[in-house]
Structure 1
């Protein structure tokens, strides 16, 4: 198992701070390993990144809400997220790994729901969690029964391979990492065009995240700005932002979170758009109190 680089230990406060009630709609927690053992066959293991460190990061950034997303590292065992939600308090929600919908008992899934976990994420194939068509349909049926949302992590090459899986879904769907289009292809990129079509359906949402890995030019990530602007033009009421802290499977030094927040300011230069992405849209999608 390769060693992946840890998060920047010295996050800086963005200038200016984001609006009150802002939400980091995707971050993860890892370890300590003695308390939360990695599942057998996990595709990766990250350096320790606890909920206490994450909450301190959010205080530094001016973030007041968040969504803790279960990493494939732990599979169907969600104790690390359950404990993190208890520590974080009512301003935080969770997103399960979809594997639990196949392996977890009804009572365990009810426990997740009661703790504030309201969605399930389907990870890309390269991270070691895959499903047959039958199992996928069973998982989606369970999501529909629960009233949850489905979340999809794109492949490194974009969403085109996965598109047949989710393009006809009628439940709320969150697409991670902007669908991972290739900025070198501009408006001709197939993943970008596919996501723009999905946004016309009304039940699809997009997370503005993973800027540093989508970019082909590197910081300050100018080549990703047109992608974000295309989504903002298409569906400003169905975009959210996530830090993806602590940046799993990074082989290059992860960025400073202050830089990522300020990159969002470049995506959405008006205060109205910024409030939609950081406050209003997450409130609507994740069910936070207004």
Structure 2
């Protein structure tokens, strides 16, 4: 799988049947130990606001972590939320990456997703070298206005106005995370 280009595994924590049991940390750690020799990462689709000790929980995790959808914490929880702050701490100590994806999934409004702007600013401020962008196409299970990918590209341009920083998020950072050859 590594020779074919696989560089990570994704685990869906959102749809765990028994959420009262908490994170399946032992299983995640065992999985991480199996992929560690390959230099792969573990992507967690989870609502970071549901895990108040996120930074402590993952501070010594065996592989790097990737969190989609800005940590998948609904905008109503705000950036002061303990789980989101834990995500920022993991980014700060370079233990986590954040995918700037799916803002429409975690806010109530439509474009330009104003209530997501503070989340964007927070991840940019703490460590822009740990950010990657994605359109989240094909936009499955959208329960409001379907986003157009061109509008999402324009939104990135509005949120990240510095061209060099935008290149890092779109090109340089993914090359590092996914072990792509460097773009010339």
TM-score normalised to structure 2 length: 0.84
Give 1 or 2 for the bigger CA radius of gyration: 1
Following TM superposition, by how much is the alpha carbon of 1:169 offset from its aligned partner in structure 2, in angstroms? 1.1
Report the counterpart of residue 95 of structure 2 in structure 1. 203
- Matching residue within 5, 18, 29 for 1:137: 29
> RCO greater where, 1 or 2, for CA within 8 Å and sep 6 or more?
1
Confirm or deny that 1:219 pairs with 2:111: yes
Following TM superposition, by how much is the alpha carbon of 1:217 offset from its aligned partner in structure 2, in angstroms? 2.4
Report the counterpart of residue 128 of structure 2 in structure 1. 236
Report the counterpart of residue 114 of structure 1 in structure 2. 3
Distance 1:244 1:183, change over 3 A: same
Q: How many residues align?
A: 178
Following TM superposition, by how much is the alpha carbon of 1:149 offset from its aligned partner in structure 2, in angstroms? 0.8
Report the counterpart of residue 179 of structure 1 in structure 2. 71
Following TM superposition, by how much is the alpha carbon of 1:273 offset from its aligned partner in structure 2, in angstroms? 1.2
Aligned partners of 1:180 and 1:191 also within 8 Å: no
- Secondary structure at the aligned position of 2:79 is classed as helix
Following TM superposition, by how much is the alpha carbon of 1:161 offset from its aligned partner in structure 2, in angstroms? 6.6
Confirm or deny that 1:288 pairs with 2:180: yes
Instruction: Pick which of 276-285 and 176-185 moved more.
Output: 176-185
The list of structure 1 runs, each at least 4 consecutive aligned residues, that deviate by more than 6 angstroms after superposition, is: none
Report the counterpart of residue 166 of structure 2 in structure 1. 274
Report the counterpart of residue 9 of structure 1 in structure 2. none
Following TM superposition, by how much is the alpha carbon of 1:246 offset from its aligned partner in structure 2, in angstroms? 0.8
Instruction: Give 5+ residue unaligned stretches, structure 1.
Output: 1-111
TM-score normalised to structure 1 length: 0.55
Instruction: Give 5+ residue unaligned stretches, structure 2.
Output: none
- Matching residue within 190, 200, 204 for 2:82: 190
Following TM superposition, by how much is the alpha carbon of 1:123 offset from its aligned partner in structure 2, in angstroms? 0.7
State the Cα RMSD in Å: 2.5
Equivalent residues in 2 for 1:92-131, closer than 5 Å: 112-126=1-15
Aligned partners of 1:225 and 1:266 also within 8 Å: no
Distance 1:206 1:281, change over 3 A: same
